[in-house]
Amino acid sequence: MADATISASAAPVVGAALPHDSAQKHVTGRALYIDDMPEPPGLLHLAIGMSERAHARIVAMDFSAVLASPGVVAVLTAKDIPARNDVSPIMGDDPLFAEHEVLYHGQSLFAVAAETREAARRAVRFAKIDYEDLPAILTISDARAANARIEKSRSLTKGDTSAALSRSAHRIEGTLGIGGQDHFYLEGHIAMAVPGEDGDLTIYSSTQNPTETQLVIAHLLGKPAHAVVCEVRRMGGAFGGKETQSALIAAACALAAVKTGHAAKLRLDRDDDMILTGKRHDFETRYAIGVDADGRITAADIELASRCGYSADLSMAINDRAMFHADNAYFLPAANILSHRYRTNTVSNTAFRGFGGPQGMMVVERAMDAIAIRLGRDPLDIRKLNLYGPARDETPYGQRVEQHVIAELIDQLEESSSYRARRKAIHAWNSRSAHIKRGISLTPVKFGISFTATHLNQAGALVHVYQDGSVQLNHGGTEMGQGLMIKVAQVVAAEFGLPLSAIRIMPTSTAKVPNTSATAASAGTDLNGMAARNAAQTIKARLIGFIAQTYSIDEAEIRFANGVVHAGTTTIPFAQAASEAYFARVSLSATGYYKTPKIGWDREAGKGRPFFYYAWGAAVSEATINTLTGENRILRTDILHDCGKSLNPAIDLGQIEGGFIQGLGWLTSEELVFDDKGRLRTHAPSTYKIPTASDRPEMHIALFDNQNDEDSIYRSKAVGEPPLMLAISAFSAIYDAIAAVGDHSIPPHLDAPATPERVLAAINGVRGGPA
């Protein structure tokens, strides 16, 4: 082969623990992000002018001082938009620039285009905006009182919950508040638009959703989709925050490029990013759980209310997913799961790793701890009693759990983490320790894999084999650090029997693969891996046909392995086969396609099969709290997680650890505080505390030996989101430590995140003092 780095190896490439394809580039700073790209001549830099009111009528906007500011080239407002002033994913309710009314503090009003980023950022502050204040709905309780919603309430119902509840031996009730979360990707939102010929535009965007970026911009500018190309090589983290929210940043650049004829770039500053763009939904929840004398759940009545912000964004699907995960891993014989989606004058909340699932699961996990306290039992025993299993397999939405691995997974983890012995040791410690208390908890995760909007479960790919046998791989998925590109490259390498170095990973582009879904719902590898394999198989079939004919050999005797094509006793280097095929006029390029089988559900009825399969996992966390200050930390976490037959254990272990730590931040230290004017007060790392290296507990992570029952790519399972919810074990361990203050006889009231203030209030509550 032409490239000296392409060398054959006998080691199987699928299932190998290979480092991320960009790992070295990440750590040496040579991985190119959009801000590292060479800047086109005449590039303009943008800054966004943001609302200073939560809800107000815009009376007048005066930009004379902005335009007079040095370096300013243009001010862009809603009036400059040629076609549709909307950057929303579905509902048409996210203007690029607010025109008559602002709906949240920080909303985009206009953009300044200037010769430098500093000039644009300085000039933005000289705008004079006259507002006429309107009443603002800021919290879930405000919205409940005003009946402000983004859509009607939805419910999942199974059996007669109220009858079952009233017949139950015990009834356990409570409330749980769950905070939101900022994505805090290292690379903030950024885009660059470059105008071309005939009104063409190329958009480089840090987005999980190139197709939607393309379509939003085409609609905004009144252009056909074919005039807009969106390209993404990689994001410096996304976590759901760049599924829809990136559209506004890209659209502002596209508009500036069209208006000025110059390339335009917008890189949000961290504070602006946090104020302008949506976050994880915060929830207020309530539960009433019926249990029998043994602690087995008989009925669950769960109410979820979320703060969606000023517009719909993806809140419908996110709240649906919260409902789908309100059972977590537990069989609910009767269930009534009710979900309210409240509209507020705050930033529009959006996708965040888990997509509502984490908030849904929190409630039933709290209920497990509360049941254990009521019955005086170990919470692990209550959890084990209530797991899904054969004959106890029907979810509240009618899908059946088919792969019953969770009981065995928990047994293995209970053993490997020495849960029982440590529970005893912690008990002994707590009886001796006056001020420091410890707690431990094992919590499971069951996470449904597939987009619940069925049409999104499709993917495309485009594979080229060149005459020298090297391969270019294009597919619709985007790389955000999760290792999608290397996994799909492993699949294609395996198909051709080539080493990984023979496969060139290309940037994601709407010009190569059209009509793609966001890389989200953890389904990136499941979908794009299958589509890419499909493309490779098409080319392979052509090669096989050609070789069979040329070498007069049976097609069944042709194999691709170790960089060569084995045709009976003849071996032909792959490069030679490609070259011979080219000269014989055999096409060496193909598209691939995949759509997930078996899925579909009826949203109105709340019944069906939204998920192709479930990913499973469990974690044991041990926490310590200082009862005088409320400070807490997680000492140790053991995880056993189900990735099916892992495509790449190195990547999967990284996803598990990273997901857990991100969940830990959500549930312990990351707190979003909005003031009574609707201003986000925690908009920088000085006040918003993500976990640091020193917050990482001692960790023991293992992959559960399993394979997907369903025909997924090499029987693997999706891993991107599920591990985040393993962090519920940490929150529950803190709860357990607080419960130790009252000898596990009084259920603490602890909302998330478990900041020192909340932990202290919960301790006071257990002691019978003021919360």
**Does 698 participate in catalysis according to the annotation?**
no
Catalytic residue among 187, 670, 721, 757: 721
Give the burial class of 643: count Cβ atoms within 10 A of its Cβ; 0-12 exposed, 13-18 middle, 19 or more buried: buried
Two structure tokens written together for 733: 């361990």
353 is a site residue for ligand MOS (CB under 6 A): yes
Sole window of 63-71, 104-112, 346-354, 737-745 interacting with ligand MOS (rule: CB under 6 A): 346-354
For ligand MOS, the closer of residues 303 and 670 by Cβ is 670
CB of residue 654 vs ligand MOS: minimum separation in angstroms?
16
If you ran DSSP here, which 8-state letter would residue 41 be given? Answer: T
4-12, 287-295, 351-359, 653-661 -> range binding ligand MOS (CB under 6 A): 351-359
Strand-strand pairing, 264-267 and 44-50: parallel
* Minimum gap (Å) between residue 116 Cβ and ligand MTE: 30
Number of residues that bind ligand MOS (CB under 6 A): 10
From the list 345-353, 406-414, 418-426, 760-768, the region that binds ligand MOS by CB under 6 A is 345-353
The partner in contact with residue 484, picked from ligand MTE, ligand MOS, none with C-beta cut-offs of 5 to 8 angstroms by kind, is ligand MTE
Q: List the one residue out of 494, 503, 729, 537 whose CA is nearest residue 623.
A: 729
Which of 216, 317, 498, 520 is close enough to bind ligand MOS by CB under 6 A? 520
Q: Which amino acid is at 561?
A: A
Measured from the CB atom, the residue of 525 and 624 that comes closer to ligand MTE is 525
Cβ-closest position to ligand MOS: 240
Torsional sign, CA 492, 494, 497, 500: positive
Residues in contact with 769: Cβ distance below 8 Å, sequence separation at least 6, in sequence order? none
Q: Taking the complex as a whole, how short is the minimal distance between the CB of residue 388 and ligand MOS, in angstroms?
A: 23
Query: Does residue number 662 form part of the binding site for ligand MOS (CB under 6 A)?
Result: no
Could you tell which of ligand MTE, ligand MOS, none binds residue 309, using a CB distance below 5 to 8 A set by kind?
none
Spatial CA neighbour of 635 closest among 473, 320, 417: 417
* Binding of ligand MOS by 526 (CB under 6 A): no
Q: Dihedral of CA 191/192/195/200: which sign? A: negative
Measured CA to CA, the distance from residue 527 to residue 753 in angstroms comes to: 34
What mask, x for binding ligand MOS by CB under 6 A, covers residues 243 to 262?
x-------------------
Beta-carbon neighbour count of residue 429 at 10 Å?
A: 15
Please answer whether residues 295 and 372 qualify as being in contact, where contact means their C-beta atoms are separated by less than 8 angstroms: yes
User: Side chain identity at 631, as an amino acid letter?
Assistant: E
Residue from the set 95, 236, 240, 309 that interacts with ligand MOS by CB under 6 A: 240
Please answer whether residues 95 and 86 qualify as being in contact, where contact means their C-beta atoms are separated by less than 8 angstroms: yes
If the CB atoms of residues 329 and 351 are measured against ligand MTE, the closer one turns out to be: 351
Structure tokens at 210: 């190139």
Least Å distance, CB 659 to ligand MTE, is: 7
Stretch that binds ligand MOS, among 350-358, 645-653, 672-680, 689-697 (CB under 6 A): 350-358
Helix H, strand E, coil C: the string for 205-239 is ECCCCHHHHHHHHHHHHCCCHHHEEEEECCCCCCC
Q: How big is the CA angle at 457 (ends 453 and 461), to the nearest 5 degrees?
A: 150
Q: Residue with CB nearest ligand MTE?
A: 524
> Which of 590, 581, 497 lies closest to 545 in space, CA to CA?
581
Structure tokens given for 71: 């370096």
Q: Say which entry of ligand MTE, ligand MOS, none residue 671 contacts (CB below 5 to 8 A, set by partner kind).
A: none
Q: Are 642 and 616 in contact (CB under 8 A)?
A: yes
In whole angstroms, how close is the CB of 290 to ligand MTE at the nearest point?
35
Of these partners, ligand MTE, ligand MOS, none, which one is at the site of residue 525 (CB under 5 to 8 Å by kind)? ligand MTE
Please report, as residue ranges, which positions from 691 to 710 form the binding site for ligand MOS (by CB under 6 A): none
Q: How far is the CB of 413 from ligand MTE (least distance, A)?
A: 22
Residue 220 or 449: the one with the smaller Cβ distance to ligand MTE is: 449
| Chain residues 192-211 in contact with ligand MOS, contact rule CB under 6 A | 208
DSSP assigned state of 70 = T
Which residue is it, tokens 């939607």?
212
- Examine residue 387 and tell whether it contacts ligand MOS (CB under 6 A): no
Q: How far is the CB of 351 from ligand MOS (least distance, A)?
A: 4
Q: Minimal distance in Å, beta carbon 94 to ligand MOS?
A: 18
How far apart, in whole angstroms, are the C-alpha atoms of residue 643 and residue 649?
9
Task: Match 């099916």 to its residue by tokens.
Answer: 644
Query: H-helix or E-strand containing 176?
Result: strand 170-178
Q: Of these, 351, 445, 680, 725, which contacts ligand MOS (CB under 6 A)?
A: 351
Of the candidate residues 352, 496, 666, 674, the single one contacting ligand MOS (CB under 6 A): 352
The alpha-carbon radius of gyration of the chain (Å, integer) is 27
CA distance 713 to 522: 13
Q: Give the integer Cα–Cα distance in Å for 136 and 101.
A: 12
Residue 274 or 334 having the CB closest to ligand MTE: 274
Rule CB under 6 A: which of 707-726 touch ligand MOS? 721
Question: Which listed option, ligand MOS, ligand MTE, none, makes contact with residue 97 (CB within 5 to 8 Å by class)?
Answer: none
Hey, what are 173's tokens? 């009730």
> From the list 331, 355, 574, 714, which residue makes contact with ligand MOS (rule: CB under 6 A)?
355
Checking DSSP bridges between strand 128-133 and strand 56-62, what pairing results, if any?
antiparallel
Beta-sheet strand order (sheet of 56-62)? 101-102, 56-62, 128-133
Report the C-alpha gap between 339 and 73 in whole angstroms.
48
Binding segment toward ligand MOS, per CB under 6 A, in 221-229, 295-303, 336-344, 352-360: 352-360
Cα 376 to Cα 745: distance, rounded to the nearest angstrom? 7
CB of 153 to ligand MTE, least distance (A): 26
Q: Does 16 bind ligand MOS (CB under 6 A)?
A: no
Q: Are 725 and 354 in contact (CB under 8 A)?
A: yes
Residue 236 lies near ligand MOS (rule: CB under 6 A): no
By C-beta, is 352 or 601 nearer to ligand MOS? 352
Residue 760 CA to residue 771 CA, distance in Å, equals 8
Comparing CA positions, the residue from 666, 432, 517 lying closest to residue 211 is 517
Residue 447 binds to ligand MOS (criterion: CB under 6 A): no
Residue 521 sits in the site that holds ligand MOS (CB under 6 A): yes
Question: In whole angstroms, what is the distance from residue 81 CA to residue 388 CA?
Answer: 53
Helix, strand, coil shares, percent, the chain, to 5: 35, 25, 40
Q: Footprint of ligand MTE on this chain (CB under 6 A)?
A: 237-240, 353, 480-482, 484, 519-525, 655, 658, 718, 720-721
Q: Please state the closest distance from residue 507 (CB atom) to ligand MOS, in A.
A: 19
Which range in 13-21, 348-356, 428-436, 659-667 contacts ligand MOS by CB under 6 A? 348-356
Choose one: 349-357, 397-405, 655-663, 756-764; the region binding ligand MOS (CB under 6 A): 349-357
Measured from the CB of residue 721, what is the shortest distance to ligand MTE in angstroms?
Answer: 5
Map the footprint of ligand MOS across residues 275-334, applying CB under 6 A: none
Place of tokens 């539960």: 287
Distance CA 571, CA 574 (A): 9
**Which residue's CB is nearer to ligand MOS, number 86 or number 721?**
721
- Which residues are the active-site residues? 721
* Interface contacts to ligand MOS, rule CB under 6 A: 208, 240, 243, 351-353, 355, 520-521, 721
